[in-house]
Amino acid sequence: MSSRLSDRPRDRAEPIDPAPLLGEWTNYDVASRNIASLTVEQRGGEVILRVCGVPNVDWGETTAFPFALTVAGGEAVAFKAAYDFGFLRVAILAYLNKRLLVVDAYSTFHDDSGRSSYFVRDHFYLR
Amino acid sequence: MTYNFGMRYVRAEDRPPNGDTPPGGHVDPAPMLGVWFATDKQSAGVVKLELAERDGAFVVRAFGSGTPDPLDWGEVPAVAYAKSVVSGEGMAVSAAYDFGFLESLLAAYTKGGILVLDTFNTFKDGSGRSAYFSREFFHR
The fold adopted by the segment(s) B22-139 is: Lipocalin (2.40.128)
What values do phi and psi take at B12, rounded to 5? -60, -35
- Residue B3 pLDDT > 60: no
The 8-class DSSP code of residue A117 comes to P
pLDDT of A19 > 60? The answer is yes
CB contact under 8 A, A68 and B133: yes
Average pLDDT score over residue span A62-75 = 97
Which chain B residues are closer than 8 Å to A116 by Cβ?
A: 22-23, 25-27, 81-82, 84-88
Number of other CB atoms surrounding residue B31 within 10 Å: 13
Average pLDDT over residues B2-25: 83
User: Model confidence over A52-61: pLDDT tens digits?
Assistant: 999 999 999 9
Structural element, H or E, at residue A65: strand A57-67
Q: From CA B108, how far away is CA A3, in angstroms rounded?
A: 19
Indicate the range of A11-15, B22-26, B42-46 predicted with least confidence. Answer: A11-15
B116 at interface of A, judged by CB pairs closer than 8 A: no
Distances (CA, A) of A50 to A40, A45, A53, A61: 7, 16, 10, 5
Mean pLDDT for B118-128 is 96
What are the domain boundaries of chain B?
22-139
C-alpha distances out from residue B122 to B30, B43, B66, B111, Å = 30, 19, 19, 27
Q: Tell me how far apart the alpha carbons of residues B24 and A47 are, in angstroms, rounded to a whole number.
A: 37
> What is the interface size between A and B, counted as CB pairs within 8 Å?
189
What is the C-alpha to C-alpha distance for residues B103 and B42, in angstroms, rounded to an integer? 23
Beta bridge partners of B38: B138
